[in-house]
Amino acid sequence: MRCRAYRGRRGLTTLAALALLAGVAGCGSDRYPVTGRVTYEDGIPVTEGNVIGHSGEGPSAVTVQGSVQPDGTFEWGTDKPGDGARPGKYRVAVIPRGLGDAEMAAGMLPAVDSKFEDPKTSGIEFEVKPQRNELNITVTKPKKK
């Protein structure tokens, strides 16, 4: 009887371990890593802001985003930073850090041209494929008025 109880517990333990592995393997398996870098035309990195991707319309729309690091790199996430994006085509926007009143009063301009702040006008489209993806973006600075 003791052997049977042991086998029963061992079977349950094995079953629980398999269920855990299946859950981990399935978790996020529909998302793939998207990393990249945002730079100006001269290769100097944009040092802060966000890179946002929009896919689809209406209730099926998906938004992914990643924070731009001081070296210009970013990593997209859907539900949490760096958890990747689902395969598909995305329109991309680069949102610079917002300027404060004092910075605007001093004549500072945003880090990137405003056309990049809207995925409809940025001209940047990217397709996430079921693999590691790299999205390098070149932006321009706003023109002084």
Q: Which residue has the tokens 């760096």?
A: 82
Please tell me the pTM assigned to this model. 0.77
Name the nearest CA neighbour of 138 among 115, 120, 108: 115
**pLDDT tens digits, 92-139:** 999 999 888 998 889 888 989 999 999 999 999 999 999 999 999 999
Kindly state which CATH superfamily the domain 34-139 is placed in. Carboxypeptidase-like, regulatory domain (2.60.40.1120)
Domain boundaries, the chain: 1-30, 34-139
Instruction: Point out the least confidently predicted range of 20-24, 79-83, 84-88, 115-119.
Output: 20-24
Cα diameter, the chain = 88
Q: Give which of 19, 92, 15, 40 is closest to 7, Cα–Cα.
A: 15
Task: Report the relative pairing of strands 62-67 and 73-75 from DSSP bridges.
Answer: unpaired
Q: What is the mean pLDDT of the chain?
A: 84
Residue 129 tokens read as 């494929």
